[in-house]
A and B are shown apart, each in its own frame.
Chain A
Amino acid sequence: MGVRPSPYGHTMTNRTFVLACLTPLFIFSLAFLALPLVRLFLESGSGEAGWAIYLDILRRPRYLNTLVLTVLVSLATTFAALAISTTAGMFLSRNRFRGRGTLLSVLTLPLAFPGVVIGFLIILLGGRQGLVNQLTPGHVVFAYSVIGLFLGYLYFSIPRVLLTVMAAAEKLDPALEEAARTMGASPYRVVVDVIVPGLMPALIASGAIAFATAMGAFGTAFTLATNIDVIPMVIYTEFTLSANIAMASALSIVLGIVTWALLLIARSLSGSTVAAGG
């Protein structure tokens, strides 16, 4: 496929050469991706419950609720990050002002921190000894709740979305917006009809990254999640504390499948809107 018939009859040698080049990738995929995954899957069925362990996850509130919570926090993070970063990204790509570079580097700073540090920052802000608690008369502690988790996830999702959106915003043809405006479109219609469709591929791509990162985030959750649980935390406790390797494996598989399925849905939805529009 894609190999043009060569007038010199070198087609076969070319193909062999390309295959030879792909061999390291093939070996790597097999060794570090396929084999561990197969092993992980087999491991999940090796417990006392056998393959019924997957039913167990769905039946026991501890697992199912955690799974639902993880998905909900990740979705909320993704949409909030998309909303904030799209607005900020459009503004930053359209305007040149003093301090723009500094602002941009501050906004992308979270990329430099591991999850643990971000969790720590949230505790400094909303923990028992945190800034908000000290400044307000009431007892405001949110670091260890879903809100703290959401803020932490949001903090590290923003730069990932922001950079992608800015790159896409710079490629938008300004004439498209001007055309809509000459035809009487309000600023709101310009956003809905021109900017969002133009940014859609970038929003899907960066949203997917934000979502997948939030689903698998461990460091932040490990620091913050004393009252609540997310799936990566449960996998860790099952594996290290309970030595329940089968359950840890099964949860890993479920986490992977849920994330992958949601990303697939997002992609096909976006594909169909583009097709329907065209």
Chain B
Amino acid sequence: MTLRVTNTAKTYPDGTKALLPTELSVAKGEIVSLLGPSGCGKTTLLRIIAGLETPDAGSEIWFGNDNVTSLPVERRKVGMVFQSYALFPNMSVRANVGYGLKMQKLPKDEIESRVTEVLELCQLQEFSGRAIDALSGGQRQRVALARAIAPRPRMLLLDEPLSALDAALREALRDELAMLLREFHITAIFVTHDQDEAMAIADRVAVMSHGHVVQSGTPEELYRNPNSPFVAGFVGNAMRLEGKVAGSTLHLDGGELALPRDGTGHNVFVRAEDVQIDTEGPLNGKVESVTFFGTHYRVGISGIMTDVLTSTYAGQNAPKVGERVEVSIKPEALMLLPEGAEI
């Protein structure tokens, strides 16, 4: 089922604008992530789609050819995974997963066979009789997912589904979740504040800030062609090179850089992995800090611009603190974003 959200906004009674008029469409079977810092309106948008929040007048939400804007949550047929999982503590795993089917008043044997099928899909067979408080965090997450998809919803909505887990588990479950979502063949929207999570799971990412969608695209597009300093910074931690643009040259404290095109009226951004320590490099600076990360070193270099420029160094012999180094940045790695596009 396709989802189309048009002109949808949310203003709270106290005047707070949680969501500015927003457009979003999600194709059938597409997995879209709403990515943004806390308070950017991503959860509000998800809850409006679910029917848990009433949007402002003029908003429209279409599920395929049905306008569901005024339909209450009970009748929208969406599956939702909550941040806290919200599993019913007074019911077993089986009863939790079967709850939506029971509400649809399906025959008992049909419920049983559907629950068994979903439990198998989510590898939960052995826990089916367990109480919720006897499950680990990862198992709870799978039960929440199984419960949401068991009634065959039109769409799956996930609100920060991994944030309740500890870091080590989160990474493992991220890939598992991505795999399961693709197995379900279901249109899914999930909210997260973690760019790695969004990029690993989603087909398309909508980056949100201050109540609206700043940019939407595949993870690659967002990473390579951000349309604003906010997206460049939030997706992949791009740094601004503080210098003077003159035609297609950037003048920095530590040297000059060639730009890929005329950069007049633009700010220049770069990512740490594109800043290379290179004896032939045109820029010159002093090593301020070296941090070892296992796969690479993170080297902070001062003297090239006012702030420290960070470089990712993958070799064996990292430079020492205090050494002077030459740095090069390929013109195609520089991102030129119009000035004043500060969002």
Count contacts on A: residues with CB < 8 A to the other chain.
21
**Pair B78/A182 contact, Cβ less than 8 Å:** yes
Majority-rule SS of A interface residues: helix
Q: CB of A100 within 8 A of chain B?
A: no
9 contacts between A and B (CB under 8 A): A176-B86, A178-B73, A182-B52, A182-B148, A183-B79, A183-B99, A183-B100, A198-B89, A200-B90
User: How far, in angstroms, from A189 to B151 measured CA to CA in the complex?
Assistant: 17
A175 nearest CB neighbor, chain B only: B86
Q: CB of B276 within 8 A of chain A?
A: no
Whether A182 touches B104, Cβ cut-off 8 Å, given contacts A193-B88, A197-B90, is no
**Pair A189/B103 contact, Cβ less than 8 Å:** yes
Count contacts on B: residues with CB < 8 A to the other chain.
33
**Pair B86/A184 contact, Cβ less than 8 Å:** no
**Pair B80/A184 contact, Cβ less than 8 Å:** no
User: Which one of A182, A189, A278 contacts B90 once the chains associate, using CB atoms below 8 Å?
Assistant: A278
**Pair B84/A175 contact, Cβ less than 8 Å:** yes
B91 nearest CB neighbor, chain A only: A277
CB-CB < 8 A to A197: which residues of B? Answer: 88-90
**Pair A179/B82 contact, Cβ less than 8 Å:** yes
Residues in A lying within 8 Å of B, measured CB to CB: 173, 175-176, 178-186, 189, 193-194, 197-198, 200, 274, 277-278
Q: CB of B92 within 8 A of chain A?
A: yes
**Pair A176/B88 contact, Cβ less than 8 Å:** yes
CB-CB < 8 A to A183: which residues of B? Answer: 79, 99-100, 103, 147, 151
**Pair B131/A175 contact, Cβ less than 8 Å:** no
User: How far, in angstroms, from A173 to B148 measured CA to CA in the complex?
Assistant: 18
User: Which one of B50, B87, B90, B103 contacts A184 once the chains associate, using CB atoms below 8 Å?
Assistant: B103
**Pair A184/B74 contact, Cβ less than 8 Å:** yes
State the 5 A-B residue pairs at the shortest beta-carbon distance, nearest first.
A183-B100, A175-B86, A278-B131, A197-B90, A277-B90
**Pair A278/B92 contact, Cβ less than 8 Å:** yes
**B73-112 residues at the A interface, CB under 8 angstroms:** 73-80, 82-84, 86-92, 95, 99-100, 103-104
Least Cβ–Cβ distance between B100 and chain A, in angstroms: 4
User: How far, in angstroms, from A277 to B166 measured CA to CA in the complex?
Assistant: 29
